[in-house]
Structure 1
């Protein structure tokens, strides 16, 4: 299992759960895209959640090791396409960050409209510099759009890993709640957002994010870093 969807009261709860770190690979992205397709057809808002104690540990490093350079670029581009769907899509998207979020896990948070995090001993951050990786364009652009500018260097260049309280200050999350209330809190907020006129929400979301969306789209299919 990688991702499931449950629609109740016009809210689509999409849950990532691979039984491990919710690594982002082609299988996970296919399941997520299929779920978003269904949500856009049958719901008015999305809640994107992880498994207990884990939102996502980022891209699947085992896949990176086996794909070869061209395969890695294809996976990065597929990830970028998914982020574009969330960040520029028509529906309100609320993240239920159920625990740790590392690297691509934090970029998914950036692509969601509102981010609810679990209080606790969790780690959130972009660790690319630590692992010797170059940041892809989508990570840089989303960080510029969502992070507190005071934290740009610390978060992205120096790869600082935050606790949930620090993640709110940095801009990875918008608010915290108890771990067992994250999904319910996110669902409540999604319910409120679903009451807004959908056409206006979709237009204003795309209009406000036009430059970021364009920069990410232009990077797809090109070599990263």
Structure 2
């Protein structure tokens, strides 16, 4: 087994889930298993979650080596990633993303499922660049992006794979606020402490109520997107043959 890519720390009712592979925080199947296990622990701990990455990068999205390799492993990775989005959206305690740098593709989808998102000032980019990679925007990704972004930004993100600098990303709806790198975790913890005053049963019930249709759409779309990925992989294999 390789080293863990996802690290869990719990104290004072707050769970910090940190993605750190020492590189670009690409997400192979193992990373999604670790993320699900971390959210299981956070739910058992009845914890407010701070989801973050390593210095300079939140996540580059799916592991492109696995994706380009195709076959069952790639399809399993796609299924695991897309299935995590409704899990985070329906998590019964507040989820804060402290975006520590670049965020791309599946990394963006995961980030946008949080209740509150803090960006980091710096020379960082945010993009859902599937079209630039030659992939139709998945239904899951489009639904998550539509949930958070302004209509004009949504079109530029989905159809044109536009890369957004941090300040523009905030205006587009990717972030709720942007802070200096040395303030990121302190600011996330301050929000977590404030959210601890909420009635968590009311929070969970309200979250399920206002996101019910989105969550249903995502759960249905996972399987359609996986089937489409399988079909695209088959077509690519035939072209190579």
TM-score exceeds 0.5: yes
CA distance in 2, matches of 1:117, 1:178: 9
1:64-86 Cα offsets, whole Å, 9 max, x none, are 12242x43332211111111111
Written as runs of structure 1 = structure 2, the 5 A alignment for 1:39-188 is: 39-68=42-71, 70-188=72-190
Other structure's SS at 1:221 match: helix
Matched, 1:36 2:39: yes
User: 5+ unaligned residues in a row in structure 1: which ranges?
Assistant: none
Report Cα offsets for 1:18-68 as digits up to 9, x if no partner. 011111111111111111111101133000000000000010001112242
Deviation of the 1:122 alpha carbon = 0.3
CA–CA distance in structure 1, aligned partners of residues 106 and 193 of structure 2: 26
Structure 1 vs Structure 2 CA RMSD: 1.2
SS at 1:196 equivalent: coil
2:47 and 2:188 map into 1 onto residues whose CA distance is 14
The answer to which of 196-205 and 59-68 deviates more is: 59-68
TM-fit CA distance, 1:151 = 1.0
CA-to-partner distance for each residue in 1:99-124, whole Å, 9 max, x for gaps? 00011111111111100010010010
Gaps of 5+ in 2: 230-241
Cα distance in 1 for residues equivalent to 2:106 and 2:154: 16
Scaled by the length of structure 1, the TM-score of the pair is 0.96
Distance in 2 of aligned mates of 1:78 and 1:195: 33
Flag as ranges the 4+ runs of structure 1 deviating above 6 A: none
The number of equivalent residue pairs is 224
Shift of 1:180: 1.5
1:23 paired to 2:26:
yes
8 A Cα contact 2:167 2:178, kept in partner: yes
- How many angstroms does 1:158 deviate by? 0.5
Equivalent position SS for 1:55? strand
TM-score if structure 2 supplies the norm length? 0.90
Decide which structure has greater helix share.
Answer: 2
CA distance in 2, matches of 1:140, 1:72: 20
Asked whether the equivalents of residues 51 and 98 of structure 1 are also in contact (C-alpha less than 8 Å), the reply is yes
Q: Report the 3-state secondary structure (helix = DSSP H, G, I; strand = E; otherwise coil) of the residue aligned with 2:7.
A: strand
Q: CA deviation at 1:168?
A: 0.4
The Cα shift of 1:127 comes to: 0.7
1:224 aligned residue (228, 237, 241): 228
Q: Structure 1's 224 and 187: CA in aligned 2 closer, same or farther, altered over 3 A?
A: farther
Which has the higher Rg, Structure 1 or Structure 2? 2
Q: State how far apart, in whole Å, the 2-side matches of 1:61 and 1:120 are.
A: 25
